[in-house]
Structure 1
Amino acid sequence: MRRPRLSVRNRLTAMYGGLFLLAGLVLLLINYALVNGSLPDAAQFATTAVQGTRAEGLSYPVTPAIPVERTPSSLKIVAATQTALTDYRSATLSTLLVGSAVALLIAAALAVFFGWVMASRTLRPLHTITSTARKLEAGRLDRRINLDGPEDELKELADTFDGMLDRLGESFDSQKRFVANASHELRTPLAVQRTLIEVALADPEAGPGLRKLGEHLLLTNERSERMIEGLLVLARSDRGLPSRSPVRLDKVVRTVLTATAAQAEEAGIVVEPNLRARTVAGDPVLLERLVTNLVVNAITYNTRGGWVHVEISGDPALTVRNSGPVVPADAAATVFEPFRRLSTERTGNSRNAGLGLSIVRSVALAHDGEAAARPGPRGGLVVEIRLPPSGYSTHS
């Protein structure tokens, strides 16, 4: 059973109030003991007052009286005086206890209130740090705390946090420059290689062995291009979204299904769409890549004569189911890891780089959503994409 969450402010307030209440109780006991010791003893005071003598150690004055004999009347006077003094003593101590308890409760309530205020003021920088951390995104690291105040531990923590954000910002900027340079440096030689291979294959004097080797090199080159493109998309989505715009998810899915219709027909796969109007906030290019990877993955890893079901709903926003071989339950969660395949059959497909579903998860996370996969009841895979409400109205 999960323990109830108790904030630091509440714990500090309870500690302040508890310590004050404990100190008040100790003070009350000391005060009670001092007053109890200073009040006169009822029996001794009555006897002394009636007989006109002064007992040793008494600090109060006693009016001298004529000594009297211990007669029944004098004994009654002593008893009456003793009873009155006893009642007075009890009433005094009771009044002291009640008054002190009421004052202690009022002071404890004030101590709790002022403790809560002091704890709030003390922890305010922590709330600022937490709020800033929650607003940070991979593409927006320009926020800083810039805490003003004395050079204490909280100021040191805030300055350390700002320094960490500076280093992260420099790291992400360096990554952006690397991705831009890698996009050019890696694509260009592959494009040149593909062109040279195509020119060699177009030569009429090329023999069967050369043509076979050229076709194999073209497939390898195409797979390398897919891998590089997938890595670049993965790096871009991992950096987050610099901006968002309303995107009709149903229109994106229709576009992807039209583009992959030939591939599905060639593989003998029947695609069954069940789409409804749905608008999400995000990047249309990344969302199109997400849908494309899901549909292509469902078509590629299927059985001939199988089916692919694509559905748009409220929650999850997008669901892609397909027929195919049975997927082990313990392996379904690993399909989103880069270069991870579920079986040797998938490994044998040299046209794919093993990054399709990794990109799907990365794009979903960049849109503040999530991707989940589970085995289908009769084989295949069920992939669900959850996206937060867009806040935009949907129109046809």
Structure 2
Amino acid sequence: MTLRTRLTAWYAGVFLIAGIALIGLNYWLLAEWTPGDGVAMARTVPAELMDPYTGYTAVEAAQLPGDTAVFTGEQIKASTMNTVLWQSIIALLVAAVIAVWLGWVVAGRVLAPLHSITTTAHRLEAERLDQRIELDGPPDELKELADTFDGMLDRLASSFDSQKRFVANASHELRTPLAVQRTLIEVALGDPGASDEIRRLGAHLLDTNERSEKLIDGLLLLARSDRGLATRELVWLDEVIDDEVESCAALASEKNVTFAVQTRRYLVDGDPVLLAQLVGNLLRNAVLYNKPGGSVSVRLDQELIVTNTGPTVPAQAVPGLFEPFRRLRDRTGTAGSGLGLSIVQSVAKAHQGSAKARPNGGGGLVVQVNLPETGVRQAS
């Protein structure tokens, strides 16, 4: 039941209670009325027997015409009270219907500012915080609520701007030292006089440096997707899948993993870079966490489903895989950074989609990503 319906019901209920109380009070006062105890009233009395001042006179029954109907005071009182009661009930029901209609209209006008707040909140995105309510009206509670909401949006917009500047600066400041370190290590390893111990140490440092670069790239990508989409364009998801499968071909060959791809034309309105990262992370995870001679199934129909044949995954551990840095294996045992599925979920949410996973029956994981498909179709 909506708030408007509840308010209307309250208005109508209060009106009915007040109306019933008023009818009860009138009925009680009418019950105290005594229309001339012991006096008979005639429905038709000859004009010459009527008192010109009061309209009534006391006459003997023998003086009345034979067709005159005579009522006692108690009969008149009972008839009057019965008539007043039923007419009051009918009037109350009619007024109650009008009260419900008026209550509905008044509740709608009172709640109109709340609808404005809700509509504004639905239009907001991380990259579009320029919407404001700017409610006009007297300084009442709803005006105060709208102004508070506008103030909160101002603070959020400022916070998101600061975050975007931080991510842009961090992207440069964190990448540059790692690039310099990698170059120095490669130069040292290129020295013909370098000993075997230095070469082993250099190879270890290069591997650590590469892992750090991947971790920073993943964190920056996660931060970017969490902020929402800055721009949108039409992207054929099936083409993105084909490109990413080709990019993962070398890694799959190294791990002795085969791909089985089945797609259809699927158009998405979104960010092509983020969508490529989503698909790429799914495929790389499916290859890295697989077994030698295993396979990766990629199917795109109503949703994107990626299935691998890796080790058995406990059902209770699946939700934790979408958290950053959560993996089933020990961190030092894989080349991943533990951000793959976190990025997949974040990118899916940025595109108004969702991502979920479940264990594969024969071992491995099934990841399902739902991305809203646009109604646009490629010209034939």
Q: TM-score, normalised by structure 2?
A: 0.91
Partners of 2:288 and 2:8 lie apart in 1 by: 61
Q: Which 4+ stretches in 1 moved above 6 angstroms? A: none
Question: Contact 2:351/2:371 (CA < 8 Å) preserved in 1?
Answer: yes
- Measured against aligned partners, the alpha-carbon deviations of 1:15-43 in whole angstroms (never above 9, x if no partner) come to 111111111111111112222322426x6
Q: How far 1:64 moved relative to its partner? A: 5.1
In structure 1, the partner of 2:39 is: 45
Question: Contact 1:223/1:350 (CA < 8 Å) preserved in 2?
Answer: no
Larger deviation, residues 91-100 vs 19-28: 91-100
Change (3 A) 1:65 1:307: closer
Return the letter of the residue paired with 1:369: G
Q: How far 1:92 moved relative to its partner? A: 2.2
Question: Contact 1:278/1:394 (CA < 8 Å) preserved in 2?
Answer: no
In structure 2, the partner of 1:30 is: 25
In structure 2, the partner of 1:335 is: 321
Q: How far 1:90 moved relative to its partner? A: 3.2
In structure 2, the partner of 1:13 is: 8
Q: How far 1:353 moved relative to its partner? A: 1.3
Secondary structure of 1:44 counterpart: coil
Return the letter of the residue paired with 2:372: P
Is 1:368 aligned to residue 352 of structure 2? yes
Q: How far 1:304 moved relative to its partner? A: 0.2
Q: How far 1:93 moved relative to its partner? A: 2.1
In structure 2, the partner of 1:387 is: 371
Partners of 1:373 and 1:342 lie apart in 2 by: 14
Q: How far 1:86 moved relative to its partner? A: 4.7
Q: Aligned runs of 1:305-384 on 2, under 5 Å? A: 305-314=293-302, 317-344=303-330, 347-384=331-368
Is 1:91 aligned to residue 82 of structure 2? no
Secondary structure of 1:157 counterpart: helix
Change (3 A) 1:64 1:313: closer
Q: Aligned runs of 1:1-396 on 2, under 5 Å? A: 6-40=1-35, 44-46=38-40, 63=57, 81-82=70-71, 85-314=73-302, 317-344=303-330, 347-395=331-379
Question: Contact 2:35/2:76 (CA < 8 Å) preserved in 1?
Answer: no
Question: Contact 1:272/1:309 (CA < 8 Å) preserved in 2?
Answer: yes
Return the letter of the residue paired with 2:367: V
Question: Contact 2:309/2:362 (CA < 8 Å) preserved in 1?
Answer: yes
Partners of 1:225 and 1:394 lie apart in 2 by: 38
Return the letter of the residue paired with 1:332: V
In structure 2, the partner of 1:51 is: none
Question: Contact 1:234/1:358 (CA < 8 Å) preserved in 2?
Answer: yes
Count of residue pairs brought into register by the alignment:
366
Partners of 2:283 and 2:87 lie apart in 1 by: 79
Partners of 2:110 and 2:244 lie apart in 1 by: 55
Secondary structure of 1:348 counterpart: helix
Change (3 A) 1:350 1:215: farther
Partners of 2:201 and 2:39 lie apart in 1 by: 124
Partners of 1:308 and 1:394 lie apart in 2 by: 28
Partners of 2:348 and 2:106 lie apart in 1 by: 43
Question: Contact 1:246/1:282 (CA < 8 Å) preserved in 2?
Answer: yes
Return the letter of the residue paired with 1:103: A
Question: Contact 1:268/1:305 (CA < 8 Å) preserved in 2?
Answer: yes
- Measured against aligned partners, the alpha-carbon deviations of 1:195-236 in whole angstroms (never above 9, x if no partner) come to 000000000000000000000000000000000001111111
Partners of 2:343 and 2:58 lie apart in 1 by: 106
Question: Contact 1:320/1:384 (CA < 8 Å) preserved in 2?
Answer: yes
Return the letter of the residue paired with 1:352: G
- Measured against aligned partners, the alpha-carbon deviations of 1:103-155 in whole angstroms (never above 9, x if no partner) come to 11111111111111111111100110011111111111110000000001111
Partners of 1:227 and 1:209 lie apart in 2 by: 27
Question: Contact 1:318/1:384 (CA < 8 Å) preserved in 2?
Answer: yes
Q: How far 1:243 moved relative to its partner? A: 2.2
Partners of 2:164 and 2:271 lie apart in 1 by: 17
Change (3 A) 1:384 1:245: same
- Measured against aligned partners, the alpha-carbon deviations of 1:163-195 in whole angstroms (never above 9, x if no partner) come to 000000000000000011001101001000000
Q: How far 1:307 moved relative to its partner? A: 0.4
Identity %: 55
- Measured against aligned partners, the alpha-carbon deviations of 1:65-99 in whole angstroms (never above 9, x if no partner) come to 57x9xxxx89xx9xx7456x554433322221121
In structure 1, the partner of 2:51 is: none
Question: Contact 1:322/1:381 (CA < 8 Å) preserved in 2?
Answer: yes
Return the letter of the residue paired with 1:333: P
Return the letter of the residue paired with 2:360: G
**Long gaps (5+) in structure 1:** 1-5, 48-59
Partners of 1:65 and 1:206 lie apart in 2 by: 143
Partners of 1:221 and 1:319 lie apart in 2 by: 33
Partners of 2:217 and 2:58 lie apart in 1 by: 114
Change (3 A) 1:194 1:227: same
